[in-house]
Amino acid sequence: MYYNWKEKINTEELKNVANLIKNGEVIVFPTETVYGIGANALDSNAVKKIFLAKGRPSDNPLIVHVANKEDIGRVVYTPSAVEQKLIDTFMPGPITIILKKKPIIPNSVSAGLDTVGIRMPSNEIAHKIIAASEVPIAAPSANISGRPSGTRVQDIIGELESKVSAIIDGGECEYGLESTVVKVIDDTPVILRPRKNFTRRY
Ligand code: AMP
Ligand code: MG
């Protein structure tokens, strides 16, 4: 199903999309960085569908998207003071912070690591979908593994349409670059993945 929310979010359709997530389906949705291919991060069967759709190796961990700061404590242990400062300074926005995961996050999401990348999108559509789904959404970039990350639905639809239950069109992504991935090591923030500028494609 294709949903056009470029001009405005349709609240009836939002309920449908949230129900798809609750039912373990996979969707493509916009964020301020790139489009994501997402599913319920607490449901390992749903998460497996993401890896299958993308042809993504199972040792490449997924980023978990939350709607609000209060939702972070559901999926990770209490952040340190430095981690909390990063959260308060940069979230919501185009940053992913690696934190120690709680067992509620399946190992398939974290690729067996005891940490998980947490992101809180500032994009309104992404925010509303995660909030309405009432679960965190595991989502890598919406592209077949090895191809550039999609920043417009027309770049994604051919690759993924047959593999997902819904595609939400929010127009072109604000940044068009993947999130900065940061991990705090010995109280120092270390950038594991800088924002790249070669991912936008026209
Ligand atoms: P993608 O979702 O395709 O943008 O890729 C997510 C990337 O986030 C991974 O390839 C890793 O580089 C990084 N990442 C996600 N989770 C972790 C983690 N637990 N530890 C370190 N890096 C991570
Ligand atoms: Mg990617």
CA of 101 to the centre of ligand 1 (A): 14
Q: Is the pLDDT of residue 96 over 90?
A: yes
Question: Which residue among 28, 60, 173, 179 is best mutated to probe the pocket of ligand 1, counting the most ligand atoms within 8 A of its Cβ?
Answer: 60
Q: What is the pTM of this model?
A: 0.95
Q: How far from 54 is each of 18, 82, 146, 147, 156, CA to CA, in Å?
A: 21, 34, 9, 10, 11
Each residue's pLDDT tens digit, 34-63: 999 999 999 999 999 999 999 999 999 999
Domains and CATH numbers, the chain: 2-193 (3.90.870.10)
Q: In percent, how much of the chain has pLDDT > 90?
A: 96
Whether the bond into 92 is cis, omega within 30 of 0: yes
| Ligand 1, atom 2, residue with closest C-alpha | 140
Q: In percent, how much of the chain has pLDDT > 70?
A: 97
pLDDT band with cut points at 50, 70 and 90 for residue 198: very low
What beta strand segments (E) does the chain contain? 2-4, 27-29, 36-40, 63-65, 95-100, 115-119, 137-138, 166-169, 180-185, 188-193
Q: Is the pLDDT of residue 6 over 50?
A: yes
Each residue's pLDDT tens digit, 102-111: 999 999 999 9
CA of 57 to the centre of ligand 2 (A): 11
Helix intervals (H) in 9-152: 11-22, 44-54, 72-75, 81-90, 107-110, 124-133
- Per-residue pLDDT at 196: 62
Supply 69's token pair.
């700061």
- Find out whether 153 and 134 touch, Cβ atoms under 8 Å: no
Ligand 2 ion local residues (Cβ < 5 A): 141
Residues 6+ apart with CB under 8 A from 55: 144, 145, 146
Average pLDDT over residues 91-106: 98
61: Cβ below 6 Å to ligand 1? yes
